[in-house]
Amino acid sequence: MTLDLKSFAAQARVTDGVYWTELQKKGLLTPGSCAEFLNADNPAAVEAVARSYVQAGSDVVMTNTLLAHRFGLAPYGAAGRAAELAEAAAGIARKAAAGTDVKVFGSFGPSGKIVMMGEVAEEDLAAAFAETAGALARGGAEAVVLETFNELAEAEIALRAVKKTCDLPVVVSMAFAYGPEKSATMMGNTPADLAAIAEANGADAVGANCGVGPDAYVGVAAMLREATDLPIWIKPNAGLPVVADGKTTFPMGPEEFASFVPQLIAAGAHFIGGCCGCGPDHIRAVRAAANRAEG
């Protein structure tokens, strides 16, 4: 049975953090390496990360597939492995969630190309995104999240491709980090722009992830809520990145991060998790804050 996101989001749902940071802590990734290869090379390590989010209280865990399409894997000489790595990732997450009510959402990010500049043919993008969506569905994903998109045109292409490929619900999430209120994408798109395109093309939820911390996304959540009745997906970073001694860190600890959960829920967010810099401890704190906010 296809998951009904509106019904599922009738109460605040906690999503997960990121894979990259946790895999890096284990010494399995170095800057510039490809996390998606671990879906085949070390599935137990990927499963352990997913299970850590299940144990932290996530209602939703995502797949280790941010770059798992032809464009994302091409720089690593692995464009032909997109379907293999995406399907494996979905199976890994399903295994981590086995025996619980936790849902598995497959995800992928943008291509790194700019559609409006003619850097890539729309049909090539659509084919790549469709390939990944089909593999995620075969692996057992219960929804697809289009995450960290910066260009509305590319997000629309991805949404249409997924909808044509499978019957899974689709979340469209963009990175809003520009403008005086940090409420525009890199390309100048607004939450209202995203909501309009999402509704016109059959999206099941809309949202914002990455880019900024939870403080800025309170306003973005409110703008999305004003523009649409679709469920709202919010996954901020643990604050703005700080670079010191060649290392990038995110300053917001679990409790500070989770302190924004009541505001996010009040602004209209239905799904709340963490992006860059967020691990199981952040999600555990979000779970506790969401429970308190829901009463």
Q: Checking phi first, is residue 13 left (phi over 0); if not, alpha (psi -120 to 50) or beta?
A: beta
In the DSSP assignment, the letter for residue 222 is H
Tell which residue, 292, 254, 293, has the closest CA to residue 273: 254
pLDDT for 258-281, tens place per residue?
Answer: 999 999 999 999 999 999 999 999
Q: Which amino acid is at 180?
A: P
Mean pLDDT of the chain: 96
Tell which residue, 278, 211, 247, 241, has the closest CA to residue 30: 247
* Mean pLDDT across 138-144: 98
Amino acid 198: pLDDT? 98
Amino acid 196: pLDDT? 98
Q: Does residue 235 contact residue 208 with C-beta atoms inside 8 Å? A: yes
Q: Does residue 225 contact residue 255 with C-beta atoms inside 8 Å? A: no
Amino acid 30: pLDDT? 87
Q: Does residue 155 contact residue 125 with C-beta atoms inside 8 Å? A: no
Task: Say how far apart CA 263 and CA 242 lie, in whole Å.
Answer: 25
Structural domains present in the chain: 11-294 (3.20.20.330)
Q: Is 184 helix (H, G, I), strand (E, B) or coil?
A: strand
Max CA separation in the chain (angstroms): 50
Alpha-helical runs (H) found in 145-279: 152-165, 191-200, 214-227, 254-258, 261-267
Strand 247-249 and strand 242-244: the pairing is antiparallel
Q: Is the pTM of this model over 0.95?
A: yes
Task: Say how far apart CA 169 and CA 117 lie, in whole Å.
Answer: 30
Inform me whether the pLDDT recorded for 247 exceeds 90. no
Give kind and range of the element (H or E) at residue 11.
Answer: none
Q: Which amino acid is at 262?
A: P
pLDDT for 105-129, tens place per residue?
Answer: 999 999 999 999 999 999 999 999 9
Tell which residue, 217, 286, 222, 287, has the closest CA to residue 258: 286
Task: Say how far apart CA 78 and CA 39 lie, in whole Å.
Answer: 13
pLDDT for 34-87, tens place per residue?
Answer: 999 999 999 999 999 999 999 999 999 999 999 999 999 999 999 999 999 999
Instruction: Label residue 246 by pLDDT band (50, 70, 90).
Output: confident
Distance, C-alpha 242 to centroid of its chain: 22
Distance, C-alpha 181 to centroid of its chain: 22
Task: Say how far apart CA 132 and CA 40 lie, in whole Å.
Answer: 16
* CA angle at 65 for the pair 261 and 103, rounded to the nearest 5°: 50
In the DSSP assignment, the letter for residue 178 is B
